């Protein structure tokens, strides 16, 4: 049984994780934190992680980018592994996570879905095969309440593609201010916000003769909740270091029957 502290427990993802853990024999959310305490859960909800007086095995953070530095500080103080699922982190916070990984296990992924991480493997292979003969564009869509744009997942996809293209590509965010023809080494990244779209990502490889499109659509938030719980179980006994979905997926394939 992996005991979870859930930061951001009253948000949409927090509720999804709580509901999934409740139905599982492998996980239990034993405490949480949120700035708004209106959850009605059986576990206690604190103002912040550093106020928690309940023991747990790992932290899952699905909150707001501005609050992540304080979560990192509390994780270090408590010497607890941290699964950081919050997106839109600035460079200073990312550096702080990296520094923290010298003392605790840190799991960081912009998207906790197994499917999206399979997509990343596919687009990396496609980029190696098709670039520079094909133009590359990324389109992402999310619900109207999402704060960051482009999404952290779109940037994760873009970085994976760029790495496969020798980091030659220039990121172009929308095109309304660029009154010029598309450059050969541009990669466009566009965002749509509306309604209750959980998360959709499409990667286009476009030539004069054909178009290859690789896409992923999350139907419910359970895809991310399942990944977050699996990550918490994965790192609860890990040594200090920075871990990601590639590590967890590789570990699953390495298991003996």
Which tokens go with 10?
A: 């009253």
Active site residue 142: yes
**List of residues 6+ apart from 255 with CB closer than 8 A:** none
Q: Which of 66, 80, 128, 142 is catalytic?
A: 142
- Is residue 86 within 8 A of residue 61, CB to CB? The reply is yes
Rounded to whole angstroms, what are the CA distances from 57 to 11, 37, 150? 21, 22, 33
Task: Please say if 146 is a catalytic residue.
Answer: yes
Structure tokens belonging to residue 177: 């201010």
The catalytic position among 51, 66, 128, 146 is 146
Handedness of CA 73, 199, 117, 222 (dihedral sign): positive
Catalytic residue IDs = 142, 146
């Amino acid at each position: 049984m992996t005991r979870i502290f859930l930061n951001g427990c009253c948000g949409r993802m927090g509720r999804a994780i709580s509901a999934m853990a409740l139905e599982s024999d492998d996980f239990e959310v034993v405490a949480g934190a949120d700035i708004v305490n209106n959850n009605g859960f059986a576990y206690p909800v604190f103002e912040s992680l550093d106020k928690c007086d309940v023991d747990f095995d790992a932290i899952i953070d699905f909150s707001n980018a501005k609050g992540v530095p304080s979560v990192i500080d509390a994780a270090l103080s408590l010497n607890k592994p941290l699964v950081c699922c919050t997106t839109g982190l600035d460079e200073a916070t990312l550096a702080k996570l990296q520094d923290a990984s010298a003392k605790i296990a840190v799991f960081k992924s912009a998207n906790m879905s197994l499917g999206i991480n399979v997509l990343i493997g596919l687009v990396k292979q496609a980029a190696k095969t098709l670039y520079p003969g094909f133009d590359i564009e990324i389109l992402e869509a999310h619900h109207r309440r999402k704060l960051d744009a482009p999404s952290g997942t779109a940037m994760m996809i873009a970085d994976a593609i760029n790495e496969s293209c020798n980091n030659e590509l220039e990121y172009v965010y929308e095109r309304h201010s660029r009154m010029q023809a598309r450059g050969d080494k541009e990669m466009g990244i566009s965002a749509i916000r509306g309604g209750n779209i959980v998360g959709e990502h499409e990667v286009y490889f476009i030539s004069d003769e054909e178009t290859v499109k690789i896409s992923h659509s999350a139907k419910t938030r359970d895809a991310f909740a399942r990944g977050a719980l699996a990550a918490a179980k994965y790192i609860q006994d890990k040594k200090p270091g920075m871990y990601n979905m590639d590590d967890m997926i590789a570990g699953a394939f390495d298991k003996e029957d």
